[in-house]
Amino acid sequence: MADQVRHIQIHAEYDGQRIDNFISRELRGVPRSLVYRLLRRGEVRVNGGRVKPARRLRTGDTLRLPPVRAGRGTTRAASERVLARLHDAILHEDGELLVIDKPSGMAVHGGSGLGYGVIEALRQMRPDCPFLDLVHRLDRDTSGCLVVAKRRSTLTRLHEALRRGEVGKRYQALLAGTMARPTLAVEARLERQTGRGGESVVRVSAAGKSARSVFHRLAAVPDWTLAEVELHTGRMHQIRAHAAHLGLPVAGDRRYGDPEANRRARHAGLRRLFLHAAALDLPGEGGARLRIRAPLPAELRAVLETMGMPIPHE
């Protein structure tokens, strides 16, 4: 919770950004309706004056933000242990971006009862970086490559590359069952819905958005397949929903998975979702490509060893 008025000097990286979007970033977890109410009431001011949501910020502007409760629960700082863990998880860093091997169990951002996420912890860890923002997202229980932009121009460029399909994303997943062929392509539209408990889920539906995943068999033992999954779109829970659609749910998936298969996976030592963002292929400036790999975590390798699954070379 922010318990006092904040005055923020706008850095050049945010020049031209709409004020409503900037506030939503600063007050992660606050509903957009509240952001617009604060603007309408004049509680948010720029250079001492009232502004409308479409106002574009300029370098050197002074933004006044009132005290606001940012979502359910209390926002808190990450511990030194968490910051050290994230520091050790950095896979690549340059002047444009930072790529980390996100740990399983850590959300990419706070809100909805979470005191902080990866992005808030990184901003805490790098107070000298005026701009840090997520290029994409990973599910909380998924580990692996996560890209954070250090410049607004980089964020815009990579978002455009994602839209054009110029970012290669490959995951490793343990599937419950046996793939009928070495490669299975899934093109099944996904629609976002509300589950029985009020949580967000996606279902295969003709009314959904287009989604394509390609599953490549890496290794197999009876009842289990280790697959590399190539994403051609980036829908929420895409791999998990497409795997379930194939009848080969991801091991450890409590939302889309098979309870009996999950029980057998726990017997083999699995304590999390077996889904790992293993590799990224990004377009860099000047036409160069940036290729990054995150090794399979030790706890997942141990599960494969227990199952007698051959482990592919990284």
Q: Count CB-CB contacts under 10 A for residue 93.
A: 13
Spell out the residues 6+ positions from residue 156 whose beta carbon is closer than 8 angstroms to its own: none
Please name the helix (run of DSSP H) or strand (run of DSSP E) that holds residue 51, with its range, or none.
Answer: none
Q: Find all residues with CB under 8 Å of 222, minimum gap 6, and list them.
A: 178
Tell me phi and psi for residue 12, to 5 degrees: -60, -30
Task: Identify the burial level of 148 via C-beta atoms within 10 angstroms of its C-beta, where 0-12 means exposed, 13-18 middle and 19 or more buried.
Answer: buried
Please give the Cα distance from 235 to 233 (Å, whole number).
6
Sign of CA dihedral 284, 126, 111, 23: negative
Within 10 Å of residue 235's Cβ, how many Cβ atoms? 20
Q: Tell me the catalytic residues.
A: 139
Q: Provide the greatest CA pair distance for the chain.
A: 68
Strand pairing partners for 62? 9
The Cα 109–Cα 240 span in angstroms is: 21
197: tokens are 């408990």
Would you put residue 302 in left (φ > 0), alpha (ψ -120 to 50) or beta? alpha
Residue 237, Cβ density class (10 Å: 0-12 exposed, 13-18 middle, ≥19 buried): buried
Helix (H, G, I), strand (E, B) or coil at 102: strand
The neighbouring-strand residues paired with 7 are 64
